[in-house]
Copies of this chain bind each other. A is one copy, B any other.
Amino acid sequence: MKTEKISELTTNRLSVYLRCLNELSEEGAKTVSSGKLAKRFHLNSAQIRKDLACFGEFGVRGVGYYIDDLREQITKILGLDKDHRVGIIGAGRLGMALTDYYGLTQSNFEVVALFDADKKKIGSTIGGVEVFDFKKVKQVIKKEKIDVAVIAVPAEYAQKVLEEVSKAGIKAVMNFAPTPLQASSDVKVKSIDLTISLESLSYFLAQP
């Protein structure tokens, strides 16, 4: 068991392992070895063992891992045994699509509020979720106990939005605006930049 800082690469992979285990569990398997997991899901077995070893000794030598037990452990490690309440800032197409996306997915993330500055949108509901005035973001976050914010506004407003939700006590933010954001160190920002991804594909296509 490592006590060092856990890399984000490791936590990302934990998500992947959990998915793999869910699949195996549905097939009725009881145990699995890191080698089998690696082969089937195209991972590296040493890496699986190392990642898991950061959090404890979950395996049994000669046997492997008990699937349901390991699922439970990873669920706890990732904090997926607790529900999260999500607020999406920006009720444009992307915000709406994300609202629906998480509405459909059965997960422990629930979208409970949308925010926008556009008077025409405020008060309407999308997939059962109300659109609030962004000016009221702080009070709604408190009232609805929102703990995850999703930024789906144009790039030029993103930093301002981040500052407002931070002031309201949000510690976890997912950013879709194509711009880097400055956050204080106790706020975690994950950025998903579609432009960078597309341009990276373009680079690949441009190679001779």
Interface residues in chain A, defined as those with a beta carbon under 8 Å from any beta carbon in chain B: 8, 11-12, 14-16, 18-19, 41-42, 77-80, 82, 84, 93-94, 96-98, 100-101, 105, 107-109, 147-148, 171-174, 178-180, 182, 188, 190, 192-206
Contact = CB atoms under 8 A, between A and B. Distances in A.
Nearest to A155: B19
B172 A78 contact: no
Contact of A196 (B12, B182, B202): B12
Nearest to A81: B206
Question: Copies per complex?
Answer: 2
Given A180-B42, A194-B101, A84 B171 contact: no
B182 A197 contact: no
Contacts of A198: 84, 107, 109, 148, 174
Contacts of A148: 198, 201, 205
A205 B109 CA distance: 13
Contact of A147 (B42, B173, B192, B205): B205
